[in-house]
Amino acid sequence: MFNFLKKSAQKKEITFNYESIMVDMHSHVLPGIDDGAQTTQESIALIRKMMGLGIKKIIATPHIMADYYKNTPETINNALEILKAELISKEINIVVEAAAEHYFDETFEPRIEDRKLMIMGDNYALFEFSFINKPPNATKALGKMNDMGYKPILAHPERYPYMDIEQLRSLKEHGCSLQLNTISLTGYYGKEVKKRAENLINNELIDFISSDMHHLRHAEAFENALRTPYLEKLLFDYPLKNSLLM
Ligand SMILES: [Fe+2]
């Protein structure tokens, strides 16, 4: 009886890693410019963890938010250069690029019109909605992005409680890709988010997966996600697009 309990409490063995996707395309590993890594030491610790789990390239995506994180291409590229110098000095061999996670606020549409979005790969632009309030005119903004030649990617669709699966499917029909945080599959953000993540996978609506890594607790959850059957399904039986960004 006690042996049985002990065994069930043991963690499932990890038998695969993230090497098939190659690229982690949503993270906050640039030092000191948002709520992610605050120092280059913290950045390096997160990067080493990702490399250990099979990631070959990291696209850092600091927040651009009018109220909290007033980042610009200059602040982001400066932080990228500081991090790259540190990687070279420590002889850590990994490609790190920078784009942004654009917040859907009143500055977002003007940024689209001014062609000021920070992109990854072939004109992909990552953006996020509020976790609380449904955004007005999302499809209008998506139309504008498409008109300007951007390929929109919505970050963590599983984390917006006010959006159901049909609304997310409709965003996809308006040319928007969907990016799941793999740590959602561990229950890191709660049971509801986990359920929504699994539902999105069951409905084959996910295009990209990533860590959204801010700190070491996320790094640990990113590893634990490798014990979930849904991540196994995503990595081995699903047409993910991450490698397009290699
Ligand atoms: Fe993020």
pLDDT digits (tens, 9 = 90+) for 92-102: 999 999 999 99
Q: Specify the pLDDT at position 169.
A: 97
Q: Supply the mean pLDDT for the chain.
A: 95
Ligand 1 geometric centre to CA of 189 (Å): 13
Least confident of 5-19, 48-62, 71-85: 5-19
133 or 7: whose pLDDT is higher? Answer: 133
Interval 81-92 mean pLDDT: 98
Interval 198-215 mean pLDDT: 98
pLDDT tens sequence across 96-126: 999 999 999 999 999 999 999 999 999 999 9
Q: What is the amino acid identity at position 217?
A: R
Question: How much is the pTM?
Answer: 0.95
Q: Specify the pLDDT at position 136.
A: 86
Check pLDDT > 60 for residue 4: no
Ligand 1 geometric centre to CA of 63 (Å): 7
24 or 8: whose pLDDT is higher? Answer: 24
Q: Using a CB cutoff of 8 Å and minimum separation of 24, what contacts does 75-84 make?
A: 75/33, 76/30, 76/33, 76/100, 76/118, 79/30, 79/31, 79/32, 79/33, 80/30, 82/31, 82/40, 83/29, 83/30, 83/31, 83/40, 83/43
pLDDT tens sequence across 142-162: 999 999 999 999 999 999 999
Interval 69-87 mean pLDDT: 97
Ligand 1 geometric centre to CA of 155 (Å): 7
**In sequence order, what DSSP letters do the residues of the chain get, joined into one string?**
-HHHHHHHHSPPPP---STTT-EE--B--STTSSSS--SHHHHHHHHHHHHHTT--EEEE--EE-SSS----HHHHHHHHHHHHHHHHHTT---EEEE--EEE-STTHHHHHHTT----BTTTEEEEE--SSSPPTTHHHHHHHHHHTT-EEEEE-GGG-TT--HHHHHHHHHTT-EEEEEGGGGGTTT-HHHHHHHHHHHHTT---EEE--B-SHHHHHHHHHGGGSHHHHHHHHSS---GGGG-
Distance separating alpha carbons of residues 143 and 174, to the nearest angstrom: 7
Ligand 1 geometric centre to CA of 180 (Å): 11
Interval 197-208 mean pLDDT: 98
Least confident of 3-7, 138-142, 155-159, 228-232: 3-7
47 or 11: whose pLDDT is higher? Answer: 47
Tokens of 49: 């963890």
Interval 16-45 mean pLDDT: 98
Interval 198-208 mean pLDDT: 98
Ligand 1 geometric centre to CA of 89 (Å): 27
Distance separating alpha carbons of residues 18 and 125, to the nearest angstrom: 22
Ligand 1 geometric centre to CA of 170 (Å): 22
Ligand 1 geometric centre to CA of 103 (Å): 10
Check pLDDT > 60 for residue 6: no
Has domain 17-245 been given CATH number 3.20.20.140?
A: yes
Ligand 1 geometric centre to CA of 213 (Å): 7
Strand 63-64, strand 177-181: pairing: unpaired
Ligand 1 geometric centre to CA of 119 (Å): 15
Ligand 1 geometric centre to CA of 2 (Å): 42
How far, in Å, are 93, 96, 139, 216 from residue 148 at the CA level? 35, 26, 14, 37
The residue ranges of every structural domain in the chain are 17-245
Distance separating alpha carbons of residues 141 and 107, to the nearest angstrom: 11
